Chains A and B, each alone.
Chain A
Amino acid sequence: MGSYTPAQRRRTKRSILDTLQDAENEHLLECPNADLPMRTAGLFLDLILISLATSAVHQLVETFRSTFPVLLGKWVDPESSNFVFLFLFVSWSAKVCLAYFYFIWTTHRFGGTPAKLLLGIRVVDARTGERPSILWTFLREGLAKPLGLTLLASPVCAAIRKDHRALHDLATRTVVKRVRGGPP
């Protein structure tokens, strides 16, 4: 028979780093919420950065596509459907991976997309101040945000509400905080 251990005893001892992380999370919750112009600036900058990155991927794939027939000569027919499909698949796979890392992984790992981090705003769990889990980040960045932006519900919601939370924030229990002021 197994022995019963009360829940409090089973809790592992928290390290100093965990304690400091809790302190940081608590501080994040107390930071002011990011307003609509700042969030819009973040989205605008995100679009610029992701377009630069996808453009680089596109040009890289196109360059390889032009190089292959030159290098392999008669072994490759650049007009064949298999060849065209292969490069289309590679190009889109790379772009999807890029979008995943840019929007979802960075938000989960660092608390914001590169543009948000550069502007000094962070996405945190509205209850705990922690960074959102990968599942909630996926729901936020991959589903709720595109839907909310397409239907214009997210910007309207952020503009109307006093706490500046958009529809995708409410749907995924997150909040965007302004963690530092302007430049030094």
Chain B
Amino acid sequence: MILMVPYSPEVPKAHTPMLWPALVLLLLLGVGFLRSYETIAADYEYVNELRATVVTDGSGHNQLAESTQKYLSKRPLLDLAPSQGNWDYKRLIYANFLHGSLPHLVLNWIGVFAGARICTTFIPFLCTLSIFILGGSLGLLTSIWLGTDASTFIPHIGASGGIFALMGAYYVYNFRFRTLYFFWFPSRHGTIHLRTSWFVFLDVLLLELVLSMGQFLPSRVDSVDHLAHVIGFASGVILALGLRFLQRWPSYVQTRAEFIAWDRAIKPAEGNLRGWVDLWTSLLEINPYNDALKQRLCGVMEKDAEALTPEERATIFSFFSPTFLRLETVAAAQATVGALRAGHAPPLPWLAATPYDSIIRLAQEIAKNADNHPALLQLILLYRRAHPEGGNVERKLEALVTKLSPPAEPLEIQSGQ
């Protein structure tokens, strides 16, 4: 997460995350660090003076001597932070705002900034703060209970459990959509758009689960509290799922603005297809990046194209952007074939605006099924018609149409807009 920082969900500029919630959390962490600085420095000195004594128990395992445990039980940091042998709820919550060193704080600042910022597209700040504190505290508590530390008086501190809780909440809301990630390359090429679900696999499942597994072992792989990360993440997921359930947030809605519009809209009856299409297209006008809604419209176009008016079909096709065609080629191809089979051509303005490589990609998907070949030729011919004569695209299409021998009689179609 530090190497590839989630910067924003992929949404229109009007819905990009707000800055102030992230700054408030940064400030809280900074204040926590400053207020605990003297205690942490005193604790560091206190622990440095320790001369640890190791004894072997009956089962052959090495353990700290009782005198060492007694010495550690009086370390200054335990006044502020919880440990397995000495904890309470107040310290557990406070530990989310404590950090052992400046690098620890700076790394968590990056995480908190990203986590708190991206969540604001979906949930209010108070919910974000609650998820951060609850998720982080649950992560720390589990880590305290299940950890295999050498001593029961090792304090657990840091905001990372809370950061993972915020990430979990974000993934619940944006799992089916895309995220803009920043990877520290100092150029305009330093960001990528990635499906959120892919990053969950890479970052959380692949790395954190493996690392937290290692934490159960006698010889730990590293000193990071991976268990708090995983439990924090799970807590964030559960809290966000609960919140989503209470809000009755539909699965195909991405941003809060869409949710508010959806909440205020009068819902059409179950079988009222055109009513639903109207509602979905109005939501897409708020957020044209919502691929889940576009997939629903593709389903309608595939099965019930004849039930829609030419204007509605043109509106639906206008949302099939080049990126949607690249990422959801199968759904777009099925919608196009459905419309062509029903005798309705894709609108010419959409064809004119669609790049050549997107149409080739669509054509490749359509060509996989031999039954679709008439529709494929029809699409290429329509695309050629939508482009002015004499251009480079027209030359390439001319050659392509010549190569694609017609496998059947062309379909009778109505001219698009």
Contact = CB atoms under 8 A, between A and B. Distances in A.
Interface of A: 14, 16-17, 19-24, 26-27, 30, 37-38, 40-41, 44-45, 48-49, 51-53, 55-56, 59-60, 62-63, 66-67, 70, 118-119, 179-180, 183-184
Give the 5 A-B residue pairs with the shortest CB-CB distance, closest first: A41-B189, A184-B323, A66-B217, A63-B214, A118-B192
In terms of DSSP, what is the predominant structure of the interface of chain A? helix
Contact of A27 (B206, B214, B218, B357): B357
A24 B192 CA distance: 24
Contacts of B353: none
A84 to B, nearest CB: 14
A180 B218 contact: no
Given A48-B4, A59-B210, A63-B221, A16 B373 contact: yes
Interface in B165-219: 180, 183-185, 187, 189-194, 202-203, 206-207, 210-211, 213-214, 217-219
Interface of B: 3-4, 10, 180, 183-185, 187, 189-194, 202-203, 206-207, 210-211, 213-214, 217-219, 221, 289, 321-324, 326, 356-357, 360-361, 363-364, 367-368, 373, 376, 392, 396, 399-400, 403-404
A19 B363 CA distance: 11
A184 B321 contact: yes
Nearest to B3: A48
A115 B399 CA distance: 33
B360 A24 contact: yes
Contacts of A179: 357
B3 A52 contact: yes
Nearest to B397: A23
B187 to A, nearest CB: 5
Contacts of A56: 206-207, 210
Given A55-B207, A66-B217, A66-B219, A19 B400 contact: yes
Contact of A16 (B189, B221, B323, B404): B404
Given A45-B183, A48-B3, A183-B180, A20 B363 contact: yes
B376 A62 contact: no
A158 to B, nearest CB: 14
A55 B207 CA distance: 8
19 contacts: A14-B403, A16-B404, A23-B400, A24-B361, A27-B360, A41-B190, A44-B183, A45-B183, A45-B192, A52-B202, A52-B206, A53-B206, A56-B207, A62-B214, A63-B214, A63-B217, A63-B221, A118-B193, A180-B322
